[in-house]
Amino acid sequence: MSDSNKALESLLEEKRLFPPPEDFKKAALATADLYEKGKESEAFWADMASELHWFKPWDEVLEWKLPFAKWFINGKINASYNCIDRFISSPTRDKVAIMWEGEPGDERTLTYLDLYREVNKLANALKHLGIKRGDRVTIYMPMIPEIVVAMLACTRIGAPHSVVFGGFSAEALRGRINDAGAKALITADGGYRRGKVIPLKQAADEILKDTPTIESVVVVRRVGDALKTTMKEGRDYWYHDAVNAAEEYCEPEQMDAEDMLFLLYSSGTTGKPKGVVHTTGGYLTGVYATFKYIFDYKPGDIFWCTADIGWITGHSYIVYGPLLNGATQVMYEGAPDYPDRGRWWRIVEKYSVSILYSTPTSIRSFMKWGTKWLEERNLSSLRLLGTVGEPINPEAWVWYYKYVGNEKCPIVDTWWQTETGQIMITPLPGVTVCKPGSATHPFPGTEVEVVDEQGNPVKPGGSGYLVITKPWPAMLRTLYKDEKRYRETYWSKFPGKYLTSDGAKLDEDGYFWILGRVDDIIKVAGHRLSTMEIESALVDHHAVAEAAVIGISHEIKGEAVAAFVILKEGFKGTPEMQQELKMHARKKIGPIAEPETIIFVSEVPKTRSGKIMRRLLRDIATGRALGDISTLSEPGVIAELKKRYESEERE
Ligand code: WTA
């Protein structure tokens, strides 16, 4: 377990209790009997599913042939129909779906009817480009309303989307396009981040010669003249031209509940990202129900999830969850500290945000920046706060509660993963007594355990591996074109139990405390990265012979990337080389993968069986193993340290 997790474990001394505020409790959608109902999980999820629109009802709720689940067998359903058409014949048609703010300050508002019109037209435009049911479409876009339109248009015609985070590099995009065998790419000329224009189409152009399956590219004009965008005749189309030329109505495809809705690539423990496959009926049911009860969404609420749509949080709780519930939400394109550190709080005030869903990293940044930025604003519209992506330390939890929530908003600390699709462990606002730092209990209808090395449930007070013991509707169905890896990664360690790869503790009162990853995945500012992926990016540099990457604890980001690098003969570990390698990691993966620290060494300490001694590296990187790390390039130093560690480990 990593360093930050150890720090967290010491904080498990946390004993404060935060019962739900009385006012909140009285009006909450979730009530304690939801847990009772959830015990009959199939009936519970069927009830939730029946609140959606089905062209044809299912014959059977669940078929569970370990490790393959099918939910809502033979049910026919369409995602875009459920997110928009369902509201078109009700007063919700004129309700605002998205209040969007661009980083430069431009604004747009889309009602459900606006969304309906735009999605229908884009769906037709895609059909004209030859995209058919089952074809994969990659989306590489900034946080602008068209990304939502693009995703829904794909679902309307039954083409699974694969969104690639706009912060990933061109090379990362290439790998994901090729693995998916995508037929089209939807992108934008660029987007804005911290006042800079980030080129996307130009980045895509670098790799589009190596993506043989791509037949067409649809480009949204976002930054216009700020960038020179070249269009290839017969392959590239401006979004607005394509949409303007398209017919107004596109019949939604009647998809099987088990048809693939989308693919989302996520870091695994090898260098190659995994294509996590989500299907239609179960996923929609899972995110619909969790959004409704965990965010207590009621008409009049303004929801704001600060994630990027390129990650699962944005898929489930910006696109599908809110729209399936007919919600109004805020969507923001840029950085929290641009043009100054008060940006988020101005947004909360301006749009009267009532439910805010954010991350521990942002909360810790705000703590550091001081309360002044919040005090300048009226945040009284807020009534519920959420967090996701990494363990939240009790200090950050209490700060969030006190300064953002003014001690009147419950906090939902939601644990889940790209693979789970939906929130799995969380308080129910209005019901659960919270403990800062604990994600509390499994959502009704789901079953989670903490088990020891043998797979036996630990007693209250014990810690071990977090596993899921029952299928849930939004669970991943497989890894794209890699069933073997699906079985091995999630189902091989403990037969019949889904391995989350998180460590957890179950306390005496039955509360779950997530301690962080137990594999080689790290969470940097909540972003999921694989140490192996960064290692292979570094080794790809011509001067690097070997690299070992670890996560080290970071005050704000939770974890940061530290890289140990052995250079090839003839290269020197200079500050310039450090800079060059940092840039190389950015180019290969993206800015989020840039190592915070690079340490040049003459060898990487390994165990006799060839495993990198990560604990030793962590201690070196945090300065515990020896004070002066500049001597590490000298032969023998690492060997000496290794010996010391081996003898300590034996004791
Ligand atoms: C971590 C993000 C503690 C965890 C939705 C998990 C959390 C990984 C929490 C999945 C939380 C997510 N408390 N840890 N509330 N939420 N995690 O796939 O390590 O980007 O396994 O999905 O994030 O990351 P992913």
Residue 275 has pLDDT above 60, yes or no: yes
- Ligand 1 atom nearest to CA at 517: 19
Tokens 């014959």, located at residue: 59
The finding on whether 528 has its CB within 6 A of some atom of ligand 1 is: yes
The finding on whether 189 has its CB within 6 A of some atom of ligand 1 is: no
Cβ neighbors of 337 (< 8 A, separation 6 or more) are 194, 343, 365, 369
4-13, 100-109, 615-624, 633-642: the lowest-pLDDT one: 4-13
The finding on whether 449 has its CB within 6 A of some atom of ligand 1 is: no
Residue 637 has pLDDT above 80, yes or no: no
pLDDT, residue 618, reads 87
The finding on whether 413 has its CB within 6 A of some atom of ligand 1 is: yes
Exposure class string for 323-359: b at 16+ Cβ within 10 A, else e? bbbbbbbbbbbbbbbeeebbbbbebbbebbbbbbbbb
Work out the mean pLDDT of the chain and round it to a whole number: 94
CB 413 within 8 A of CB 428: no
Atom 23 (ligand 1): residue with closest C-alpha?
Answer: 389
The finding on whether 394 has its CB within 6 A of some atom of ligand 1 is: no
Residue 146 has pLDDT above 90, yes or no: yes
Q: Could you tell me where the beta strands, DSSP code E, fall in 525-567? A: 527-530, 544-554, 558-567
Residue 310 has pLDDT above 70, yes or no: yes
pLDDT tens-digit series, residues 2-25? 444 555 555 566 789 999 999 999
Please report which confidence band the pLDDT of residue 70 belongs to, taking 50, 70 and 90 as the band edges: very high
The finding on whether 505 has its CB within 6 A of some atom of ligand 1 is: no
The rounded Å distance from CA 359 to ligand 1 centre is 10
3-state secondary structure 7-70: HHHHHHHCCCCECCCHHHHHHCCCCCHHHHHHCCHHHHHHHHHCCCCCCECCCEEEEEECCEEE
pLDDT, residue 12, reads 62
Of the candidates 73, 14, 68, the residue with the CA atom closest to the CA atom of residue 49: 73
Of the candidates 143, 142, 82, 66, the residue with the CA atom closest to the CA atom of residue 116: 82
Q: Say how many C-beta atoms besides its own lie within 10 A of residue 59's C-beta.
A: 10
The finding on whether 312 has its CB within 6 A of some atom of ligand 1 is: yes
pLDDT, residue 642, reads 75
Q: What percent of the chain has pLDDT over 70?
A: 95
Q: Say how many C-beta atoms besides its own lie within 10 A of residue 39's C-beta.
A: 11
- 58 HSE (CA, 13 A, CB side): 26
Residue 411: alpha-carbon gap to chain centroid = 19
Residue 192 has pLDDT above 90, yes or no: yes
Q: Say how many C-beta atoms besides its own lie within 10 A of residue 43's C-beta.
A: 13
The finding on whether 5 has its CB within 6 A of some atom of ligand 1 is: no
Instruction: Identify the helix (H) or strand (E) that includes residue 365.
Output: helix 360-369
Residue 111 has pLDDT above 50, yes or no: yes
pLDDT, residue 633, reads 66
d(CA 327, CA 96): 8
The finding on whether 310 has its CB within 6 A of some atom of ligand 1 is: no
Per DSSP bridges, beta strands 411-414 and 384-388 are parallel
Q: How distant, in Å, are the alpha carbons of 94, 162, 212, 482, 615 from that of 179? A: 40, 10, 11, 11, 34
Residue 408 has pLDDT above 70, yes or no: yes
Which DSSP string corresponds to 282-336?
HHHHHHHHHHHHHTT--TT-EEEE-S-TTSHHHIIIIIIHHHHTT-EEEEE-S-T
Residue 221, amino acid: R
The finding on whether 415 has its CB within 6 A of some atom of ligand 1 is: yes
63-77, 146-160, 584-598, 612-626: the lowest-pLDDT one: 612-626
CB 300 within 8 A of CB 290: no
The rounded Å distance from CA 570 to ligand 1 centre is 42
The finding on whether 414 has its CB within 6 A of some atom of ligand 1 is: yes
Q: Say if residue 67 is preceded by a cis peptide, omega within 30 of 0.
A: yes
Pocket perturbation via mutation, ligand 1, pick of 417, 423, 450 by most ligand atoms within 8 A of CB = 417
Residue 581 has pLDDT above 50, yes or no: yes
The rounded Å distance from CA 417 to ligand 1 centre is 5
CB 281 within 8 A of CB 77: yes
Please report which confidence band the pLDDT of residue 630 belongs to, taking 50, 70 and 90 as the band edges: low
Cβ neighbors of 400 (< 8 A, separation 6 or more) are 363, 385, 387, 392, 411
- Ligand 1 atom nearest to CA at 426: 15
The rounded Å distance from CA 259 to ligand 1 centre is 26
Task: Tell me phi and psi for residue 337, to 5 degrees.
Answer: -110, 30
The finding on whether 503 has its CB within 6 A of some atom of ligand 1 is: no
pTM: 0.95
Rg, Å, the chain Cα set: 24
The rounded Å distance from CA 528 to ligand 1 centre is 8
d(CA 379, CA 372): 13
Mean pLDDT of 624-630: 57
d(CA 6, CA 436): 17
Please report which confidence band the pLDDT of residue 631 belongs to, taking 50, 70 and 90 as the band edges: low
Mean pLDDT of 608-627: 78
Pocket perturbation via mutation, ligand 1, pick of 266, 290, 358, 416 by most ligand atoms within 8 A of CB = 416
With residues binned 3-state (H G I as helix, E B as strand, rest as coil), the percentages for the chain, rounded to 5, are: 35, 25, 40
Pocket perturbation via mutation, ligand 1, pick of 5, 265, 390, 557 by most ligand atoms within 8 A of CB = 390
Q: Say how many C-beta atoms besides its own lie within 10 A of residue 213's C-beta.
A: 15
pLDDT, residue 651, reads 47
The rounded Å distance from CA 389 to ligand 1 centre is 4
Mean pLDDT of 479-487: 97
The finding on whether 502 has its CB within 6 A of some atom of ligand 1 is: yes
Mean pLDDT of 341-349: 98
Residue 53 has pLDDT above 70, yes or no: yes
Which DSSP string corresponds to 114-173?
HHHHHHHHHHHHHHHTT--TT--EEEE--SSHHHHHHHHHHHHTT--EEE--TTS-HHHH
**Bridge partners (DSSP) listed for residue 527:** 524
Residue 386 has pLDDT above 50, yes or no: yes
- Ligand 1 atom nearest to CA at 500: 21
The finding on whether 422 has its CB within 6 A of some atom of ligand 1 is: no
d(CA 389, CA 406): 23
The finding on whether 316 has its CB within 6 A of some atom of ligand 1 is: no
Atom 5 (ligand 1): residue with closest C-alpha?
Answer: 417
Q: Say if residue 635 is preceded by a cis peptide, omega within 30 of 0.
A: no
Residue 502 has pLDDT above 80, yes or no: yes
pLDDT, residue 650, reads 56
Please report which confidence band the pLDDT of residue 613 belongs to, taking 50, 70 and 90 as the band edges: confident
The finding on whether 266 has its CB within 6 A of some atom of ligand 1 is: yes
Pocket perturbation via mutation, ligand 1, pick of 363, 528, 559 by most ligand atoms within 8 A of CB = 528
